[in-house]
Amino acid sequence: MFPALETERKQETLPDPYEDFMYRHLQYYGYFKDSLMLSSPLLRSRQLLFDELDQVNPRLREPRELFAFFSSKGTLQAPRWPIECEVIKESIHHIEWVPPQPEYFYQPTGNEKVPEIVGEEKGTVVYHLNPVPTEGSYFTSSRVGGKRGVIKELAVTLEGPEDDTLLFESRFESGNLQKAVQVDTYEYELTLRTDLYTNKHTQWFYFRVQNTRKDVTYRFTIVNLLKPKSLYTVGMKPLMYSQLDANIYNIGWRREGNEIKYYKNNTDNGQQSFYCLTWTIQFPHDQDTCFFAHFYPYTYTDLQCYLLSVAKNPIQSQFCKLRTLCRSLAGNTVYLLTITNPSPTPHEAAAKKAVVLSARVHPGESNASWIMKGFLDFILSNSPDAQLLRDIFVFKVVPMLNPDGVIVGNYRCSLAGRDLNRHYKTILKESFPCIWHTRNMIKRLLEEREVLLYCDFHGHSRKNNIFLYGCNNNDRKYWLHERVFPLMLSKNAPDKFSFHSCNFKVQKCKEGTGRVVMWRMGILNSYTMESTFSGSTLGSKRNIHFTIEDLKSLGYHVCDTLLDFCDPDKTKFTQCLAELKELLQQEIHKKFNERGEEVNLEGSWSDISLSDIESSTSGSDSSLSDGLPVHLLNIVDELNQKMMSKKKKKKPLQTRKQRNELHQKNKLMPEFKLTEDASDRAELGPTLQKQSTFYKTLENFRSSAMKNEKLSLSELNGGERSTSMDSKMTLILRKNKEKMQSKRPGFTPSCPQRGSTDSSQESAPGMKPNWPRNRYPVTKRSTTAMAAYPSLHVNTYP
């Protein structure tokens, strides 16, 4: 019935999905019942697994991904850029290198020069990008390579070998430099590009200079920084990379610069204040190509190279599954790694707790990627501790949440022009796909298993060291438990991690952050890890810049602390809790002493609100939410209206009869309670008199209803009141009829009796009985009775 599958078949003639379908179809119809047929070379399929002896293993290969990560040749996916961005064709690559000597902070002398800003009116523009999209515009489309057409040369043309003008360039991955103005022979004023589709967030810089001269002092001044405080004021140095040093001496990025000064710009545009960073430098070689950066760059291509090496590793790929979480706004892949060892039984697999880690939601905080790389290096290694962690946990890792921002060289925003770490509660799946899918992934994960810890890696531009922001727990059963992990981490990395810089206050302005949203979803240990752009002020690394290896080592310490935190022997956990209580008592005494008040902690001092003790995290390297761009506001309103309509919409009743009965039940019940109480005490004679009166009223209503089918709105309301009176009378008669029938022998009541027959429990005359509202079920009407109410369904929904 079906042709035999050939041993070797070209991809063009029979693609894998079709071959998989053919195999399953043949298997379904019993075509493979004979094991001899399975071993036949004519029936060999790439979907079947064979062992070393070429015997059939009745397992299918794992399905291919929805999106192909890497081609069979191992080439990477080219980054997709907004169509407004010009991109040079050159590939930029840097080596990793650890300085042999500590790189100490710059020590200000107090005599640093403060250059006056000249501007292009008195200087010469030597590099200027085309106008980039700012506030008011928005992302429309992307393509590999960015803007179409010929890439123009933006740097000045040298007049000859003696021309020592520097040649600037930043149109490469993660690069950021908008303009360079030469104001003296060896002095340049630099302007950074704002985040795309915004008019702010100038902090990250990364650019190239060529045509250098040795033993000459150059001065660079960045003129449009926005933060009034910076680590450059307390000794931080910029990073420099020499291409000749890398090629000849295998030297990579290093801290360089003298006469470093961070100060307020004397020019004022009337809207916002700018700040300047100035430094001097001497290049090591003539005719060298050098790079400057705010911090060690880590690009989207760097991440893909790393993931490609993991995917090709036959051992690591067994316990590290690479998946596509989603596509970014520009169409770049957001990767999700699931790391865990296979479990012997399904029960053990389901019992594993989960740990969720993410990084680079802020693209200019490249230190987060280096910590993530250190974590991945260790958790994917053959270390016994790493194997133990993979045995007891399921790790969900999103190594780069904002690839679009990383590619274009943004500092804080995505191509939506907004800070993603303020929009984790968003309902705009298409505009904020990375965080929407991350939150949704964690939501599904919580339905499957407990999530022990969530941590989002960040960078900080105003504080030294590494620290965590958490969320105070309101459950007294787990009081101070959210502080145990940070305290353990500070003990495992005492020269890098500062527990005293940690903060656990949940502010209203941080409700949209990943840390707070995941905490409100039920993750007790939900953190933001902040790593400085500078260095440490602790222990043996005091006043020394962090290197790449320092940050990667912190990734290892995170793993080490996880083992301590989950140790079955709770000695360390108990000791940390006791220490936390003592530290908290000291902090309470300090706060009350500052206020001049006395405090007695002998009682239930743990009831004191921790939020009142802690200061806010306003010193955090954060921005307030700008709200949504204008072009997204209407979309949000439409989605909210749809969601509200879905919540309010009830299942419709199918018949007019059901609608009428529901209407009567809701409208007549309050008034009917008193009437029914009186009817219960009435004698049968007056009731029969009411019955005759009712039939007369009913006949009059029938005749009037037939004559006046087209009623006005006011008449309909009146009809509703008349119908209500007649309905009450009908219910009274039916109730009395049932009581009369109950006296007959063999009668079984159709409705439940009162809870008590004791006369002492009866209500006093004239008082409203305390009965449940559902005491009277809706009575069943015949089709003949319904004919008397031809327009009642209109009154049901006025």
**CA 566 to CA 336: how far, in whole Å?**
24
| Tens digits of residue pLDDT in 478-501 | 889 999 999 999 999 999 999 999
pLDDT level of residue 266 (50, 70, 90 thresholds)? confident
Mean pLDDT of 511-516: 92
Phi and psi angles of residue 449, each rounded to the nearest 5 degrees, phi first = -160, 170
Supply the pLDDT for residue 211. 95
- As a whole number of Å, the end-to-end CA separation of the chain is 66
The candidate with the shortest Cα–Cα distance to 434, out of 331, 537, 305, 557, is 331
Question: What does pLDDT average to over the chain?
Answer: 78
Question: Do residues 183 and 175 lie in contact, with contact meaning Cβ atoms separated by under 8 Å?
Answer: no
Q: In this model, does residue 110 exceed pLDDT 80?
A: yes
**Listed range (47-61, 203-217, 350-364, 375-389) with the worst mean pLDDT:** 47-61
pLDDT level of residue 471 (50, 70, 90 thresholds)? very high
SS3 353: strand
> What H or E segment, with its residue span, contains residue 794?
helix 792-796
| Tens digits of residue pLDDT in 160-208 | 888 999 999 999 999 999 999 999 999 999 999 999 998 888 999 999 9
The candidate with the shortest Cα–Cα distance to 192, out of 224, 229, 232, is 224
Q: What distance separates the 2 farthest-apart alpha carbons in the chain?
A: 125
Strand pairing category for 525-532 and 466-469: antiparallel
Supply the pLDDT for residue 264. 92
**CA 366 to CA 362: how far, in whole Å?**
8
CA 100 to chain centre: 39
Q: What is the DSSP letter of 508?
A: G
Residue type at 500 in one-letter notation: H
The candidate with the shortest Cα–Cα distance to 292, out of 380, 170, 475, is 170
Structure tokens that stand for 230 in this block: 């910076």
Q: In this model, does residue 640 exceed pLDDT 70?
A: no
pLDDT level of residue 11 (50, 70, 90 thresholds)? very low
Known catalytic residues are: 530
CA 511 to chain centre: 12
Alpha helices, H only, 13-119: 16-28, 35-38
Mean pLDDT of 5-20: 40
Residues 409, 411, 257, CA angle at the centre, nearest 5°? Answer: 85
| Tens digits of residue pLDDT in 526-579 | 999 999 999 999 999 999 999 999 999 999 999 999 999 999 999 999 999 999
**CA 237 to CA 243: how far, in whole Å?**
19
Positive/negative CA dihedral, 33, 36, 41, 46: positive
| Tens digits of residue pLDDT in 608-630 | 556 555 665 544 555 555 666 65
The residue with greater pLDDT, 646 or 20, is: 646
Whole-number Cα distances in Å, 704 to 690, 694, 701, 722, 784: 21, 15, 5, 12, 17
Mean pLDDT of 305-321: 94
Mean pLDDT of 232-260: 97
Question: Among residues of the chain, what percentage have pLDDT more than 70?
Answer: 66
Question: Do residues 120 and 562 lie in contact, with contact meaning Cβ atoms separated by under 8 Å?
Answer: no
The candidate with the shortest Cα–Cα distance to 260, out of 221, 204, 205, 216, is 221
Supply the pLDDT for residue 46. 56
Supply the pLDDT for residue 720. 42
Alpha helices, H only, 298-432: 300-312, 316-319, 346-351, 367-379, 384-392, 403-408
